[in-house]
């Protein structure tokens, strides 16, 4: 039976423990995802407290990280989502995403509504991919794909 967390503290504490174990064991997020049998974005988000893992994935990841049975159980609970406290983010990487939405948020909204109508893009029925590609002008570029199901607004 699925259980929910209503206090994010337990999952935040587990995230700190999991990241510490990942670092001590010199593991990548991809290695953890491969062990779980799920996408790297989903497993990373789960270990950072934003998703529940299926039982087999929770056990596999916990075994790799040497986490106990309490952690296995906690990894399977539905978290209280939202990992960025209120206000403007101060971490430079997270701030740049905030900046991108400040600049392009209204453009994205206008284009989504023009193409789909009134509704939202789900962050639950969602896929995320991050890739590093060569920049033809030198250096590297980040290609980030946000792939969410469109949910139309339905009058009632």
- Let me know if 154 is a catalytic residue: no
Catalytic residue among 96, 114, 141, 154: 96
What are the distances in angstroms from CA 68 to CA 21, 27, 106?
12, 18, 45
- Let me know if 28 is a catalytic residue: no
Catalytic residue among 55, 99, 131, 140: 99
Q: Give burial (CB, 10 Å; 0-12/13-18/19+) of 49.
A: buried
- Let me know if 24 is a catalytic residue: no
Measured distance CA(41)–CA(36) in Å, rounded: 12
Q: Give burial (CB, 10 Å; 0-12/13-18/19+) of 75.
A: buried
Catalytic residue among 122, 137, 141, 154: 122
Residues forming the active site: 96, 99, 122
């Amino acid at each position: 039976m699925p259980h929910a967390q209503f206090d994010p503290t337990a999952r935040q504490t587990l995230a700190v423990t999991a990241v510490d174990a990942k670092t001590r064991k010199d593991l990548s997020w991809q290695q953890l995802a491969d062990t779980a049998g799920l996408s790297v974005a989903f497993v990373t988000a789960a270990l950072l407290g934003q998703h529940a893992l299926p039982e087999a994935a929770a056990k596999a990841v916990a075994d790799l990280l040497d986490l106990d049975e309490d952690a296995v159980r906690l990894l399977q609970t539905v978290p209280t989502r939202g990992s960025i406290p209120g206000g403007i983010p101060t971490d430079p990487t997270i701030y740049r995403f905030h900046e991108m939405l400040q600049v392009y948020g209204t453009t994205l909204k206008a284009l989504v509504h023009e193409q789909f109508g009134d509704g939202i893009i789900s962050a639950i029925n969602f896929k995320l991919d991050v890739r590093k590609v060569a920049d033809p002008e030198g250096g590297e570029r980040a290609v980030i794909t946000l792939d969410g199901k469109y949910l139309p607004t339905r009058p009632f």
